[in-house]
Chains A and B, each alone.
Chain A
Amino acid sequence: MIGDPELAFTPVTMETTFGGDLELESIEFVALADRLRTEFGDRVNFVAFLAEKNVDDIVALTVGDVVHYVAARVPEGTVEKSVG
């Protein structure tokens, strides 16, 4: 999803920030939103989630923030594992 080869070996943890550490571009946020919608359906509205945040919040957004957001909206055991 992120096209920068320099980031291919960047370790990703729950504390990794999308805007700061990964420097996600806007179009990559679109791809992330699309991937989340494909995976979880309308239960996960990433755009609405981002709409509640200002620019500083989005830059500081961590992988853990998104994981917690998704987990709060998708009850455990209700997602079929996708293959590939």
Chain B
Amino acid sequence: MLANGVRFHVQRLGPPPEVAPTGVTIVLIHGLIVDDLSSYYFTLANPLAAAGHDVVLYDLRGHGLSARPVDGYTLRDGIADLDELLTALEIDRPVHLVGNSYGGAIAIGMALEHPERVAGVAMIEGHYATAGFGEEMAETLRLVTVGIEDEKWRNWIESRGRKTMRLARRGVTLIEETSISQDVLATVPPQESALRALTIPLLAIYGGNSEVLERGRELERLVAAARLIVLPDLDHRVLFNTAPYLCRVLLWWYAGAIGEPPAWVPPDVPFEPAPLSRAMLPTA
């Protein structure tokens, strides 16, 4: 599907014939570099559609099966891409956005720039643009490119097989052959007053051991209708480690969030740690 001059890979899932549509459209926005819509497709998307929701997934520009133009990777471009995609999909009623990691920054940005488009936001370990956000993201991208040349990290990638190596190479290609590093560096954070003015319902789900938990706490402080859920012992990989629980929470949220959220029961198996943790990467 063509939007904002770029060919996007889009998947749209609806309820099965025997389930009445809820009229709620949910747009799932994935994270940067090694992420794509498959993170949602095999976790949240189908259970949400099975419950009657209209679910839209897309690969961000440069990711997954979408085209990889050489530029256009600012947060503002990401917001414009989503706005244009909704137009191309002929969706004119407000939608519920779900943002995982960097996808959270697009979701919050969309709510600020196009409030008429957004009925609510759910952040899963979501970033949003704060002071220093651009520098932080650019540094993370730099570490990825340095890291793939690092013996320790390279050995880890190779131990995971050709598939992981392809993913890593593609991520490095995106960083080295496009303007994404400069573009994220140029991110202009919104005024705190703009966030305080948000009136949409906002669900924030973060891991207790996550490097970005503070973002969730800030959103809870700034946004009047925010609800923060902190999952103990989890890091940034909340989506990958707790998808069944996230499904229950999101279904509760879209059903009107009556009462307390579903109880969190840690699974018996150990959590898989984040593969791109800063601790694994060289610092120079």
The answer to the question of A76 belonging to the interface, with a C-beta cut-off of 8 Å to chain B, is: no
- Determine the chain B residues whose CB is within 8 A of the CB of A27 once the complex forms: 36-38, 59, 64-65
Most central of A25, A31, A48, A51 by chain B CB within 10 Å? A25
- Report yes or no: A23 in contact with B64, Cβ–Cβ below 8 A: no
- Measured in the bound complex, the distance between the Cα atoms of B79 and A22 in whole Å is 35
Query: A25 and B166 in contact (CB under 8 A), knowing A30-B11, A42-B17?
Result: yes
A8 → chain B closest CB, angstroms: 14
- Measured in the bound complex, the distance between the Cα atoms of B46 and A15 in whole Å is 28
The answer to the question of A29 belonging to the interface, with a C-beta cut-off of 8 Å to chain B, is: yes
- Measured in the bound complex, the distance between the Cα atoms of B37 and A33 in whole Å is 13
A47: contacting residue among B36, B39, B41, B167, CB under 8 A: B41
Give the number of residues in B that approach A within 8 Å (Cβ atoms): 18
Closest residue of chain A to B46, judged by CB?
A47
- Report yes or no: B161 in contact with A31, Cβ–Cβ below 8 A: no
- Report yes or no: B42 in contact with A29, Cβ–Cβ below 8 A: yes
- Determine the chain B residues whose CB is within 8 A of the CB of A30 once the complex forms: 11, 37-38, 41-42, 65
- Measured in the bound complex, the distance between the Cα atoms of B166 and A45 in whole Å is 28
Per-position 1/0 for B50-65, Cβ under 8 A of A? 0000000001000011
Q: What are 14 A-B residue pairs whose CB atoms fall within 8 Å in the complex?
A: A4-B162, A23-B166, A24-B163, A25-B163, A25-B166, A27-B37, A27-B38, A27-B59, A27-B64, A27-B65, A29-B38, A30-B41, A30-B42, A48-B46
Supplied contacts A23-B163, A27-B65, A31-B65, 4 more A-B pairs, CB within 8 Å: A4-B166, A27-B59, A42-B17, A50-B42
Binding site for A on B (CB under 8 A): 11, 16-17, 36-39, 41-42, 46, 59, 64-65, 161-163, 166-167
